[in-house]
């Protein structure tokens, strides 16, 4: 609170100047605000309003399903500290992030410093008045440093809020295109609170000088008061010069009026926190504590799926309390929107709007749900009455899927995780989308017709292409690749299971990648084997398309096979396979050490087990796959490989690493038709254009889905022979 309690530092500041000044000022100083200590009573109004609003908010969260988010308390406290006070994610974006950081810390420091002065001043005065106990005031350099920190913090905060105002109302970025009146007056309120603090301080200084000079500002008074006070409050002293020529009574009146006005708006700020977007201050801190601490790339299973009577989320109250906290935490900053491939190519999905629409529906429905719950505990008649008015009927009958969130938006998501990675508040968009898909697929049987073919292929032949399962190991003919079943049981712990995946086994293009990985493993002397026809689809596409039961069948069969063979270490050629094997199979008893082939290759190069001696002499650009990058935080290994290949010049795309742009194939969308309407663009075409903008000779990737999407993309640009290569293929070429 930049200036909330400046008044209580005034007596301390001029008291240090000289004892004579104190004696004079305490008799005639305009800082002697009539009834000032009434703030001790008045402050309970906004505090009680805040506490009541907090209670109401928590009650509204309670309409959601229970969810356990209190494990690993130490880690959660660390998360709260890091992201609340360190702004860990917010500052990744230069000016907006650091402006918010400046506003936050300026506000915190001013509140802490002025609050400390207020409390100590009050305690000192009460102790001396009631008990005759004299408590010394701060003096000298400590006094100067203490107040100077607050002085600087306030200016830093003002600069921060001014930039945020400029950005919202002058720059007007697309992601802030839903600015509301509330946004403006809250920024204005914050600015006025801070500015009035400095003007109160300036009027206090002027009044003290006039009191010491007999009603006018004199050089002698300045010389007497300035040595310490001016060093502690340089900004206040600068502003005070504006008031030197005013009458003493005018300074007194304006000081008192501004002091009470400042206190009123500061207390108003506190009281409004639970009722306005200011609530993100509290909700954000709660979300930092309760955020997901599990693997980033994991989707949670349906508990006891074989006994479940419903699937997914069909009504807002079927989300968990943490989902509702997510709704409430969203500040509409638009970082998710700025990085969503669906939104950026004109699709129906906008992750910010998704959360805001869910929030709006939750806010309108939660009071009726609470009333219904309360009435139901009383008697059935009251419960009926609580739901009988027309407004309640309209709200309660509104369909979550269809009326609130369109099916098209739900199916547009690629699970690229850009929204979640960019969100400074750790809002979890993907789980909410998956839950609604589960309901559409498993409860309503409403899904794109192409998905039916994929599900059938996985059910009958354990692959989305629906190619006969007996052909799964034909890609390896002539390569002398051992089968896992042929490895002696006592030697299996020394072997990697090479999990080829459906693409490497059945897709002609990606069979070449699978063969390249085999060449590298053999060259490096790595012991490995494959499951052959016993390998099952990992189930990633089934789960992400919403068919959790099919995923459950695939994963339980796969885990039974791999655990039966004593598999411990796995090399995956597909980031989607890697992610589900590493992060989701442990949910079903499949605990393995899983590594992507690029991670292994980077280690082999570093250790000297393979040597790259043939120069490629090519300029290329590299695409970060979402499931290796954002879902598993691996950005360096692929670049280490490229750096080790002689003659390779890497031209990074503008959107790379955690800000990389999805190819469009994730979340099962590899198998679905991307319907493009006027003003829209295919996601893979957009990403291909971003790659070609760098004028590369090769586009490099690490995912079979990405390779397919890029090859389709370059063909659409009439570049039939433009090379799109997996990193393993480039390594083989350079060996």
| Domain shared by 399 and 542, yes or no | no
End-to-end CA distance of the chain, in Å?
Answer: 64
pLDDT at 52: 95
Which of residues 626 and 396 earns the better pLDDT score? Answer: 626
> What pLDDT, in 10s, does the model give residues 297-354?
899 999 999 888 889 999 999 999 999 999 999 999 999 999 999 999 999 999 999 9
pLDDT over 70 at 26, yes or no: no
Dist CA 212 CA 229 (whole Å)? 14
pLDDT > 70 in the chain, percent: 92
Dist CA 223 CA 229 (whole Å)? 11
Give a yes or no: residue 455 inside a domain: no
Tell me the DSSP string of 215-252.
SS--HHHHHHHHHHHHHH-HHHHHHHGGGTTS-HHHHH
Dist CA 502 CA 468 (whole Å)? 12
| Domain shared by 238 and 223, yes or no | yes
Q: Which of 558, 590, 605 is the last residue of a domain?
A: 605
Dist CA 2 CA 109 (whole Å)? 8
> Residues with Cβ < 8 Å from 103, sequence gap 6 or more?
157, 160, 161, 164, 190
CB 429 within 8 A of CB 336: yes
> What pLDDT, in 10s, does the model give residues 630-640?
999 999 999 99
Strands 724-726 and 593-596: unpaired
pLDDT at 119: 76
| Domain shared by 594 and 619, yes or no | no
CB 558 within 8 A of CB 538: yes
Dist CA 106 CA 31 (whole Å)? 25
The encoded tokens of residue 378 equal 């009383």
Dist CA 359 CA 411 (whole Å)? 20
- HEC secondary structure over 250-317: HHHHHHHHHHHHHHHHHHHHHHHHHHCHHHHHHHHHHHHHHCCCCCCCCCCCCCCHHHCCCCCCCCHH
| Domain shared by 270 and 314, yes or no | no
Dist CA 119 CA 132 (whole Å)? 18
At residue 11 the predicted structure's pLDDT band, cuts being 50, 70 and 90, is very low
pLDDT at 32: 59
State the DSSP H helix or E strand holding residue 326, giving kind and residue range, or none if neither. helix 321-329
At residue 25 the predicted structure's pLDDT band, cuts being 50, 70 and 90, is very low
pLDDT over 90 at 529, yes or no: yes
Dist CA 143 CA 9 (whole Å)? 10
Longest CA–CA separation in the chain, Å: 105
The residue written with tokens 């100047």 in the block is 17
Q: Which of 543, 575, 605 is the last residue of a domain?
A: 605
Number of separate domains in the chain: 4
Tell me how long the chain is.
735
CATH of the domain at 661: 3.40.50
> Residues with Cβ < 8 Å from 24, sequence gap 6 or more?
211, 212
pLDDT at 106: 87
| Domain shared by 590 and 621, yes or no | no
pLDDT over 60 at 20, yes or no: no
What range does the domain containing 277 cover?
7-63+73-287
At residue 27 the predicted structure's pLDDT band, cuts being 50, 70 and 90, is very low
Of 19-23, 59-63, 158-162, 269-273, where does mean pLDDT reach its minimum? 19-23
pLDDT at 1: 37
Give a yes or no: residue 450 inside a domain: no
| Domain shared by 267 and 360, yes or no | no
Give a yes or no: residue 640 inside a domain: yes
Dist CA 727 CA 641 (whole Å)? 8
| Domain shared by 616 and 484, yes or no | no
The encoded tokens of residue 570 equal 């796995």
> Residues with Cβ < 8 Å from 675, sequence gap 6 or more?
none
pLDDT > 90 in the chain, percent: 74
The encoded tokens of residue 472 equal 């799964």
At residue 14 the predicted structure's pLDDT band, cuts being 50, 70 and 90, is very low
Dist CA 538 CA 344 (whole Å)? 30
State the helix-helix crossing angle for 181-212 and 140-166, rounded to 10 degrees. 150
How far from chain centre, in Å, is Cα 228? Answer: 45
pLDDT at 436: 97
| Domain shared by 279 and 420, yes or no | no
At residue 4 the predicted structure's pLDDT band, cuts being 50, 70 and 90, is very low
The encoded tokens of residue 363 equal 């806010």
CA distances from 419 to 400, 484, 542, 546, 658 (A): 21, 40, 22, 19, 10
> What pLDDT, in 10s, does the model give residues 170-182?
999 999 989 999 9
At residue 114 the predicted structure's pLDDT band, cuts being 50, 70 and 90, is confident
Tell me the DSSP string of 522-537.
HHHT--EEB-GGG---
What is the arithmetic mean of pLDDT over 601-628?
96
3-state secondary structure (DSSP) of residue 594 = strand
pTM of structure: 0.89
CB 153 within 8 A of CB 113: yes
Which of residues 690 and 386 earns the better pLDDT score? Answer: 690
Give a yes or no: residue 231 inside a domain: yes
| Domain shared by 174 and 36, yes or no | yes
> Which of these, 199, 226, 230, 197, lies nearest to 113 by C-alpha position?
197
> What pLDDT, in 10s, does the model give residues 573-595?
999 999 999 999 999 999 999 99
pLDDT at 78: 95
| Domain shared by 436 and 494, yes or no | no
CB 500 within 8 A of CB 535: yes
CATH of the domain at 356: 1.10.1060
| Residue environment code for 638-666, b if the CB has 16+ CB neighbours within 10 A, otherwise e | bbebbebbeebebeebebbebbbbbbbbb
pLDDT over 50 at 16, yes or no: no
pLDDT at 144: 80
> Residues with Cβ < 8 Å from 129, sequence gap 6 or more?
none
Dist CA 327 CA 582 (whole Å)? 29
Dist CA 342 CA 414 (whole Å)? 8
The encoded tokens of residue 569 equal 């270490």
State the helix-helix crossing angle for 140-166 and 7-15, rounded to 10 degrees. 140
Give a yes or no: residue 494 inside a domain: yes
Give a yes or no: residue 469 inside a domain: yes
| Domain shared by 326 and 436, yes or no | yes
- Beta partners for 529? 497
Residue-averaged pLDDT of the chain: 89
CB 204 within 8 A of CB 239: no
The residue written with tokens 């699937």 in the block is 311
> What pLDDT, in 10s, does the model give residues 67-82?
999 999 999 999 999 9
Which of residues 132 and 214 earns the better pLDDT score? Answer: 214
Q: Which of 557, 581, 605 is the last residue of a domain?
A: 605
Give a yes or no: residue 717 inside a domain: yes
pLDDT at 9: 41
Give a yes or no: residue 198 inside a domain: yes
Q: Is 58 left (phi over 0), alpha (psi -120 to 50) or beta?
A: alpha
At residue 284 the predicted structure's pLDDT band, cuts being 50, 70 and 90, is very high
The encoded tokens of residue 292 equal 């997901």
pLDDT at 140: 66
| Domain shared by 417 and 513, yes or no | no
> Residues with Cβ < 8 Å from 662, sequence gap 6 or more?
341, 414, 416, 418, 626, 683, 687
pLDDT over 60 at 536, yes or no: yes
What is the arithmetic mean of pLDDT over 36-47?
83
At residue 23 the predicted structure's pLDDT band, cuts being 50, 70 and 90, is very low
> Which of these, 572, 484, 462, lies nearest to 532 by C-alpha position?
484
């Amino acid at each position: 609170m930049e200036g909330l309690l400046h008044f209580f530092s005034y007596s301390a500041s001029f008291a240090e100047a000289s004892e004579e000044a104190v004696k004079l000022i305490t008799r005639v100083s305009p800082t002697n605000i009539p009834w000032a200590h009434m703030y001790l009573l008045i402050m309970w109004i906004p505090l009680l309003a805040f506490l009541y609003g907090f209670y109401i908010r928590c009650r509204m969260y309670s309409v959601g399903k229970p969810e356990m988010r209190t494990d690993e308390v130490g880690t959660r406290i660390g998360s709260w500290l890091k992201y609340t006070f360190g702004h860990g994610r917010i500052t990744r974006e230069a000016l907006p992030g650091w402006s918010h950081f400046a506003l936050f810390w300026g506000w915190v420091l001013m509140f802490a410093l002025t609050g400390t002065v207020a409390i100590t001043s009050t305690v000192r005065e009460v102790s001396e008045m009631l008990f005759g106990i004299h408590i010394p005031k701060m003096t000298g350099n400590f006094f100067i440093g203490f107040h100077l920190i607050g002085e600087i913090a306030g200016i830093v905060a003002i600069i921060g809020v001014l930039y945020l105002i400029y950005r919202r109302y002058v720059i007007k970025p697309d992601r802030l295109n839903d600015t509301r009146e509330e946004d403006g007056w809250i920024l204005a309120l914050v600015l006025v609170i801070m500015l009035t603090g400095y003007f109160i301080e300036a009027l206090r200084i002027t009044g003290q000088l006039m009191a010491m000079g007999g009603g006018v500002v004199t050089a002698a008074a300045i010389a007497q008061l300035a040595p310490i006070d001016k060093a502690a409050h340089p900004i206040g002293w600068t502003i005070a010069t504006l008031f030197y020529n005013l009458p003493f009574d005018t300074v007194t009146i304006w000081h008192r009026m501004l002091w009470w006005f400042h206190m009123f708006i500061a207390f108003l700020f506190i009281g409004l926190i639970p009722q306005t977007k200011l609530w993100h201050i509290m909700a954000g801190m709660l979300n930092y504590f309760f955020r997901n601490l599990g693997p980033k790339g994991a989707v949670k299973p349906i508990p006891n799926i074989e006994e479940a009577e419903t699937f997914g989320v069909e009504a807002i109250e079927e989300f968990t309390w943490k989902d509702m906290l997510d709704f409430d935490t969203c500040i509409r900053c638009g970082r998710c929107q700025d990085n969503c491939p669906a939104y950026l190519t004109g699709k129906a999905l906008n992750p910010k709007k998704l959360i805001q629409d869910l929030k709006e529906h939750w806010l309108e429905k939660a009071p009726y749900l609470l009333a219904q719950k309360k009435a139901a505990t009383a008697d059935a008649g009251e419960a009926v009455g609580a739901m009988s008015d027309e407004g309640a009927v309209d709200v309660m009958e509104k369909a979550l899927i269809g009326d609130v969130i369109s099916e098209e938006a739900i199916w547009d998501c690629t699970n690229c995780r850009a929204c979640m990675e960019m969100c400074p508040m750790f809002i979890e968009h993907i789980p909410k989308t998956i839950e609604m898909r589960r309901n559409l697929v498993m409860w309503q049987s409403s899904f794109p017709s192409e998905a039916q073919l994929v599900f059938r292929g996985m059910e009958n032949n354990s692959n989305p292409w629906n190619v006969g399962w007996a052909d799964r190991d034909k890609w390896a003919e002539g390569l002398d690749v051992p089968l896992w079943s042929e490895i002696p049981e006592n030697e299996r712990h020394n072997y990697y299971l090479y999990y080829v995946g459906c693409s490497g086994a059945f897709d002609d293009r990606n069979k070449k990648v699978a063969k390249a990985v085999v060449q590298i493993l053999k060259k490096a002397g790595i012991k490995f084997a494959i499951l052959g026809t016993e390998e099952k689809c990992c189930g990633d596409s089934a789960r992400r398309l919403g068919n959790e039961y099919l995923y459950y069948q695939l994963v339980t069969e796969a885990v039974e096979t791999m655990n039966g063979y004593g598999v411990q270490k796995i090399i995956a050629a597909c980031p989607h396979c890697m992610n589900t094997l590493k992060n989701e199979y442990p949910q079903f008893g499949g605990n393995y050490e899983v590594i992507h082939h690029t991670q292994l290759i980077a280690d082999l190069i570093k250790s000297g087990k393979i040597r790259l001696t043939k120069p490629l002499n090519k300029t290329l650009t590299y695409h970060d796959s979402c499931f290796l990058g954002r879902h598993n935080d691996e950005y360096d290994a692929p670049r280490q490989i490229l750096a080790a290949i002689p003659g390779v010049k890497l031209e990074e795309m503008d959107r790379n690493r955690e800000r990389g742009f999805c190819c469009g194939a994730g979340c099962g969308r590899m198998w679905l038709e991307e319907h493009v309407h006027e003003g829209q663009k295919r996601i893979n075409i957009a990403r291909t254009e971003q790659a070609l903008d760098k004028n590369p000779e090769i586009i490099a990737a690490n995912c079979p889905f990405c390779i397919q999407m890029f090859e389709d993309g370059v063909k659409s640009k009439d570049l039939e022979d433009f090379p799109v290569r997996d990193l393993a293929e480039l390594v083989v070429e350079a060996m």
